[in-house]
Amino acid sequence: MPNAYISGTGYFVPDDVVTNDELAKRFNIDTNDEWIRKRTGIEERRFAPDGMGTAFMGARAAEQAIEAAGLTTKDIDMIVLGTLSPECTFPGTGVFVQRELGFADVNNFVPCLDIRNQCSGFLYGLGTAASMVRGGGYKNVLLIGAECHSHALDLSTRGRTVASLFGDGAGAVIVSATDEDRGVRRWTLGADGRFAETLWQRVWDIQRFPFIPQNEEGQGLVEPELMWAQMDGRQVFRHAVEKMITSLMTVCWQEKIEIKDVDLFLFHQANLRINEYIQKQLNIPDDKVFNNIMRYGNTTAGTIPILMAEAEREGILKPGMKVGMAAFGSGFTWGAALMDW
């Protein structure tokens, strides 16, 4: 049975850098750099311009990953994409990425799978892609985490608690088959639907008839509490710390190693304070943790693949390293993975 390793990485972020002070001034939000930085560690984020969506960013990251792996689109057997900000309600965004990359132009009609697990979407996708490769079904799976948050944020004082957290961007990797003793070793995934409403965005509430209320002219009327993301931050923080620590310890126990044996940790970038707390509880030294939330904010499904691509390009992630990953997000859903780079 072949092993599944990451043969190439890539990432893309929009050009528009929005600092904390600019977030306040540009959108007239009653907040400031000190307030945001103290609570989240975020200093700036990227916003996509009007007309740029999740598929475009995902495709640009994918192009880098494919090139880095020394492959072409003809070598890709499947596209797996994680996002909470799809191009539209349906179809899934993976098919838009496929079209953006020109797959169909060369009669390369590879299957596309969208994963809607929000912040843990990349790890759910990694487990899926690695299983397909290790099972012998595919040789190269393109795995993408991409988000266009800014177009669906309540950029006002009313929504500042959530709006200050998120940014736009995409990361991509190629999960490939190899006979070498390397690659994805373990992963664990979990979910707890009891807390589904603790972090959610109800805009398409299919329980309601009609699912979007209409006025006499047939125009949709969406109430703010349905349109914008809602979050109980304290609940999310507490559960994130617990589940990320537990899942990391689980994969280490399964692999018969200790936390100290891991060379580099790539944590989901939701809140720097969450990651610092986890680091402290597990006695992980600073030189074993790579964060970039201060530059990009929370890019949800894109955080870990963006981290991975940046760490590789900066020489932080090196061949032979044992890498630990963990994420937690809406659902609640979570996961962790171990990989030999």
Write out the catalytic residue numbers: 119, 268, 298
**Residue 82 and residue 54 in contact, taking contact as beta carbons nearer than 8 Å:** no
Q: Which structure tokens are listed for 101?
A: 């990359």
Q: 3-state class of 187 per DSSP?
A: strand
Which residues of the chain form beta strands (DSSP E)?
3-12, 16-19, 44-47, 78-82, 112-115, 140-147, 169-178, 183-191, 199-200, 230-231, 264-267, 322-329, 333-340
Residue whose entry in the numeric block shows the structure tokens 């600073």: 286
CA 319 remoteness from chain centre = 23
Beta bridge partners of 17: 46
Regarding beta strands 264-267 and 322-329, do their DSSP bridges make them parallel or antiparallel, or are they unpaired? parallel
Q: Is 314 helix (H, G, I), strand (E, B) or coil?
A: coil
